Structure 1
Amino acid sequence: MSLSPGESAPLYSHRDTQTHDDVMGSLSLRRDLSHPENPPFGTWWTYTVEETLLWPILEYQGNINNCLDVILGDFNDEPDNEDTERRNQPLSSGITLGLDDGATISEFVESFLRNIHTKFPILEPQELRERGENLVENGLGWDGETCQVLLACALGAISCPWEVADLENYDRIKPSRERLSLANEYFSAGQKRLGALLTQSSIIAVQCIFMAGIFLMHQQKPVAGWRLLNVASIACRTYISKRMARESRNGRESRSRSMEQRLCWSCFKTEREVACEFGMETSGLNVIAYSTSLPTPPNGFNSEMENSTAHQTVSPSGTTATSMMRETYQDKSWYYFLTDIMLCKLEMRIDNYCQDKRREAYHFAGGSPEVFFRSMTEALQEFRYQLSSYYNSLPPLMQFPMGGLVPCEDEALNQLRWRIYCVQHDIYIPALYILLHNDVSGWSHNLVNDLIDLANECLKLDVIFLKTAVTPHRQYNTWLWLRKGVRSALILIASRRLKAQRRPGLERLEVPDDVTCADGARRLIQGLRYWSAESNDCKEYLALLYELHAEFRI
């Protein structure tokens, strides 16, 4: 079409504004899997519920994105939502808020230090206690210190001590409704003080934003939680950049380096866990995946983490009877943090390898799957060896049994074992995918045997996840564990369908029996029903599993 000089052309045509692949959709957290990638050799790197539903053997015909859509479409975190207003109201008219009550603040601060700070050592315990005392004495201010105390109290109120005997007790809410209400009140007060901190490049700003994100994760709000964890990671990078600029100008090093390191790792590894479920990139701190350095402990770490309730006990010899126990406790907390970082770094290296291998697949398109997967199998075995070396090098204080269903008595050890299981599963799952989606009857016997060995280990882990992923214990990664249990259920359904096909060459594949799977299905359903009152996606998982297998129709 031609136009004369006197005619005007529209700035934006209909064609410009209506495109098949809307760029705004590509910016969404929501991954549209309605038109999934169809790469050479398949999607063997799958890590999420949604990606697993794409496996042809499951023959799932529903909306792949449905479970995440429920989470992403939940507007309970919007300020004008009436449900949020009701949720933040005290659940009992007899509750007095008392946000500056000395006994309440002291109790919740100590609960925070026991239940949260032992996993994320992002602040100085004694400094937090002093700020709490100052708040009691002078009242609530609008500064970062007040915000930090309020958020610590919120986390202390919503978190619970690890009690193995209660892990199958679904008869009562933990913490109590009254305590949950107080947690919401403290968080609401802290949230009102976050605004000014969002524009600051300071340690306390990063700490408060991170703590707010962790609280939202405890509330089963992964989208809102991820958003703040992402902001905390970016704020951490900004602070480091400014600190380096100052040092470059005045030639003096900052004394906050240890705190920076602890904050960076806490922000990054927590943000990454949530981002992976949405298929999102992290804030950029993944540059430390191959770093050889680890955070340095804070000065006097053993003494500053002491529990204030244990100051008075004295042994006949004149020394505190609990000092050795406290010191052991602090050492274990720090070892936990460092070991978790090492496992996170290995997890990132595995993921980076898989991304490189995905790109390689396109260059190898049309080639032999056997040849392509042989080099991958060798790499998986190397990762397996690295993980085994990490586990074998743990100090006696941090050692725990592997492979069992019985939870560890110590929460830190149980968390570490779970992390190791997750890394192991990342290593083993490609092997099971290969066996599910390829005819290996003509492949090298050695390669097939190696793949079956890895796949058998994967299936053992899926049984563990199915039976233990969901408990009534509330923690920051409860939502992540829920999804891990559901994904393992899908994997076991797929493996049992594979077994029913009686393919040649797979006789050694050890698919769990019906009794084992039925027991796991019962436990998973019980847990999903328990959490469905707080996390709407649980109802969708129940419907999904109900559709796919009869064992979940109970």
Structure 2
Amino acid sequence: MNPATGDPARRSRPAPRGTASYQRKRAVKACQVCRARRTKCDNLKPSCSFCLKVGAVCIQSAEDLSSFDPASLKILERLDSLEQLMRSSLPATDEQGPPAKKRARPTTSHVDPPEAQVGGTRVDVSMVLPPSSEEMLSWSYSVDDTGTLELQHGTPQHHVSSPPGLVAVPEDPRLVKALLDNFFNYVHVKNPILDEVSTRRMVLGKAVEGLGFDWSPESCLALLICALGSLATPFGPSPDTMPGTAAYAHAQAYFQAAQKRMGLLFVAEDIIAPQCFFLAGVFMMCNFQSTKAWRYFVQALVGCQEFKFLTNAPGRPDQLDETPHQAIYWSAWKSEREVRGDVRRPDFLVSDHDTRLYPSFFPTPPAPRADAVRMPLMEADQTREQISWYFYLAEISLRRLTARVSAEMVAMMETHASRHMFLESMAAALSSYEAQANEWQASLPPCLSLEAPPEQDDVCRFVLRGHLINLYETLYWPFLAVFLDEEGLGLQTGALNAFSEQAQRGLENHMARLLVNKAGYHHRHHGTDPLLRSCSRTALTLLAMSRTQGARGGGGLSQALHLLAFWSPETDRYSEVRVTLCRGLAEAKSHNYRLRGP
């Protein structure tokens, strides 16, 4: 300390750590090659002497590195090496700037072969099989297409709870008999899992003979039949079954009472348990609760696993004894598979195009029963039972055909390196698949023939015609998808023209779906929610085609909007689809898209 001033002695600040072992001096502006070799560079332009001698590309940095010390230069050198390594590991397309707007696709687990980039883009399942409407909503056709609404994957409704003020189930014998007729005429005809004679006797015994609904599994089955009979109507609009009506309130009361009796079914080992669980799933489907329906269908299928015809050695089972067991097994199996693709649970991801799990047999129609003499069916009822089994077998055969064709298409996808090669192979096989669909249609009995106009369809022909349209949608989707995304449009014009005819057939099939299904837009039944799903996919496809190709379909979009709006009080699952379609129609008007009616 300075005694005169009292201040500390002024001393120079210690030198920085980096200058302790060497003096900073101007860094040499060596080219990258010489820098990597750690040799002196003469910095000649445009190439130094060494690079000129060996024929290397001389890259001389324009950056002034004179202010960097040797340690910093070493760090920069390592960073340059790391950058080169990362660039060499990325696909070439990633270095060409951000891609154009494409639709999001699921990640595939397989590794593409080196030749996958030759002749087109790689193939994934979304190019082969029709996607869900949720996946289509993720396609980035426009910045404001889907807005900011959060997609509802469930059906958060409250209609299934018991209506206020309705505490007891109706047991009026006349009402129960009418509900029995409704059930067998309009519900059981599509899934003949019960013996009508014995079932009528059991249900009427509970109501008419004053036995009442006790806590037995039989009462649970009777209550489920009454619940479905309350919602069942002839094919056409069902205004009397909407929320707020007496029929709807009765249905919920019957179902609530049946739910209270389901506990014993979980330990039951006879056929009535899977029958009850299956009918409960059907009721949930009628109320747009597909997730809960799937749970019931799974439980019904679990209850079928101990059936003798599934556990016995290969051989023909006793047709008379095993018919109801085969019927409930098939109904539970196909319903669970159909709804599984919609709910998409992590441990149940086997897709519907996997044929390995399909049962190897068809259910056997019932033979005449000895006890039917005591309570014979009327001639009209016998005709209805015959038609129901014709329909049942026809629907099963069509489902198996669709699954087999889908599996072959996926196998074809996995064996072709590029999208163009897959499309060529699919185009060659298309006529064979169309012939199989025509053969199935020609094999239908006269009572289910699809030759008549759709306006004359009853509910069975309506359902079969819809399933056939689903098959054709699967066949034409690979060609239609080419015109819906940027990758497909990246193909050469000649390649696009080669598949335009098949794509046009696919577009016409989508428009036919909206026309054919129009008769069932307001009809409540087991398949109403699947109808909403397929029509939503069609409407989004038409909207996408109108933007990329100027295709017609505006009338179809309006019809689909009307369908979704009609059922919106009971399910908000399709709210984002409605928003997208509304914006699409508004955008079409403002930009003068060619959205003509189908």
Any residues of structure 2 matched to 1:20-99 within 5 Å, and which?
Answer: 36-37=106-107, 40-42=122-124, 43-44=126-127, 45-57=129-141, 62=146, 66-67=150-151, 70-72=152-154, 74-76=155-157, 83=158, 87-90=161-164, 97-99=168-170
> Which residue does the alignment assign to 2:306?
239
Is 1:190 aligned to 2:190, yes or no?
no
Q: Which amino acid aligns with 1:377?
A: A
State the Cα distance separating 1:377 from its structure 2 match. 2.6
Is 1:217 aligned to 2:285, yes or no?
yes
Count of aligned pairs: 462
* Structure 1 pair 62–307 and aligned structure 2 pair: CA distance change class (3 A): farther
Question: Is the CA contact (8 Å cut-off) linking 2:159 and 2:570 kept in structure 1?
Answer: no
State the Cα distance separating 1:390 from its structure 2 match. 0.5
Give SS of 2:401's match: helix
State the Cα distance separating 1:376 from its structure 2 match. 2.5
Aligned partner of 2:341 among 276, 294, 305: 276
Any residues of structure 2 matched to 1:355-504 within 5 Å, and which?
Answer: 355-360=410-415, 364=417, 368-401=418-451, 406-436=454-484, 437-441=488-492, 443=494, 448-449=497-498, 451-467=499-515, 468=517, 471-500=521-550
* Structure 1 pair 383–34 and aligned structure 2 pair: CA distance change class (3 A): closer
Q: Which amino acid aligns with 2:185?
A: R
Any residues of structure 2 matched to 1:3-18 within 5 Å, and which?
Answer: none
TM-score, length-normalised on structure 2? 0.69
Is 1:102 aligned to 2:102, yes or no?
no
Q: Which amino acid aligns with 1:523?
A: Q
Q: Which amino acid aligns with 1:89?
A: P
Question: Is the CA contact (8 Å cut-off) linking 2:476 and 2:505 kept in structure 1?
Answer: yes
Give SS of 2:455's match: coil
State the Cα distance separating 1:107 from its structure 2 match. 1.2
Q: Which amino acid aligns with 2:269?
A: S
CA distance in 2, matches of 1:289, 1:191: 31
* Structure 1 pair 160–282 and aligned structure 2 pair: CA distance change class (3 A): farther
Q: Which amino acid aligns with 1:295?
A: P
Question: Is the CA contact (8 Å cut-off) linking 1:234 and 1:283 kept in structure 2?
Answer: no
CA distance in 2, matches of 1:357, 1:380: 12
Give SS of 1:391's match: helix
State the Cα distance separating 1:144 from its structure 2 match. 1.3
Q: Which amino acid aligns with 1:531?
A: W
State the Cα distance separating 1:482 from its structure 2 match. 1.1
Larger radius of gyration: 2
1:410-449 residue CA offsets vs partner (Å, 9 max, x unmatched): 211111111111111111111101243244435569xx54
* Structure 1 pair 386–243 and aligned structure 2 pair: CA distance change class (3 A): closer
> Which residue does the alignment assign to 1:115?
186
Give SS of 2:456's match: coil
1:61-92 residue CA offsets vs partner (Å, 9 max, x unmatched): 6489943xx243x555xxxxxx468x4215xx
Give SS of 2:451's match: coil
Question: Is the CA contact (8 Å cut-off) linking 1:407 and 1:414 kept in structure 2?
Answer: no
CA distance in 2, matches of 1:305, 1:526: 49
Is 1:538 aligned to 2:588, yes or no?
no
* Structure 1 pair 305–529 and aligned structure 2 pair: CA distance change class (3 A): farther
**What are the ranges of 5 or more consecutive residues in structure 1 without an aligned counterpart?**
1-32, 77-82, 312-322, 501-510
Question: Is the CA contact (8 Å cut-off) linking 1:124 and 1:304 kept in structure 2?
Answer: no
Q: Which amino acid aligns with 2:290?
A: P
* Structure 1 pair 117–65 and aligned structure 2 pair: CA distance change class (3 A): farther
* Structure 1 pair 438–291 and aligned structure 2 pair: CA distance change class (3 A): farther
When the two chains are superposed, the root-mean-square deviation of aligned CA atoms in Å is 3.6
Give SS of 1:535's match: coil
Q: Which amino acid aligns with 2:330?
A: W
Aligned partner of 2:332 among 267, 272, 283: 267
More divergent stretch after superposition (374-383 vs 408-417) = 374-383
State the Cα distance separating 1:331 from its structure 2 match. 2.5
Give SS of 1:118's match: helix
CA distance in 2, matches of 1:374, 1:209: 46
**What are the ranges of 5 or more consecutive residues in structure 2 without an aligned counterpart?**
1-102, 109-120, 591-598
Is 1:139 aligned to 2:212, yes or no?
yes
CA distance in 2, matches of 1:496, 1:214: 37
CA distance in 1, matches of 2:437, 2:143: 34
Give SS of 1:475's match: coil
Question: Is the CA contact (8 Å cut-off) linking 1:343 and 1:420 kept in structure 2?
Answer: yes
Is 1:229 aligned to 2:313, yes or no?
no
* Structure 1 pair 533–61 and aligned structure 2 pair: CA distance change class (3 A): closer
CA distance in 1, matches of 2:362, 2:256: 35
Give SS of 2:263's match: helix
Question: Is the CA contact (8 Å cut-off) linking 1:151 and 1:212 kept in structure 2?
Answer: yes
CA distance in 1, matches of 2:131, 2:283: 25
1:348-396 residue CA offsets vs partner (Å, 9 max, x unmatched): 11332344345445xx2xxx43223212233343222211110112222
Is 1:520 aligned to 2:572, yes or no?
no
State the Cα distance separating 1:266 from its structure 2 match. 1.0
Question: Is the CA contact (8 Å cut-off) linking 2:483 and 2:549 kept in structure 1?
Answer: no
CA distance in 2, matches of 1:306, 1:477: 35
State the Cα distance separating 1:274 from its structure 2 match. 1.6
CA distance in 2, matches of 1:306, 1:263: 25
CA distance in 2, matches of 1:263, 1:64: 43
State the Cα distance separating 1:132 from its structure 2 match. 0.9
Q: Which amino acid aligns with 2:306?
A: Y
Question: Is the CA contact (8 Å cut-off) linking 1:214 and 1:476 kept in structure 2?
Answer: yes
CA distance in 2, matches of 1:539, 1:458: 26
Is 1:338 aligned to 2:408, yes or no?
no
> Which residue does the alignment assign to 2:11?
none
Give SS of 2:549's match: helix
Q: Which amino acid aligns with 2:131?
A: Y
More divergent stretch after superposition (51-60 vs 529-538) = 51-60
Q: Which amino acid aligns with 2:299?
A: V
Question: Is the CA contact (8 Å cut-off) linking 2:483 and 2:489 kept in structure 1?
Answer: yes
Aligned partner of 1:148 among 221, 226, 229: 221
* Structure 1 pair 114–383 and aligned structure 2 pair: CA distance change class (3 A): same
State the Cα distance separating 1:207 from its structure 2 match. 0.3
Question: Is the CA contact (8 Å cut-off) linking 1:528 and 1:538 kept in structure 2?
Answer: yes
State the Cα distance separating 1:270 from its structure 2 match. 1.7
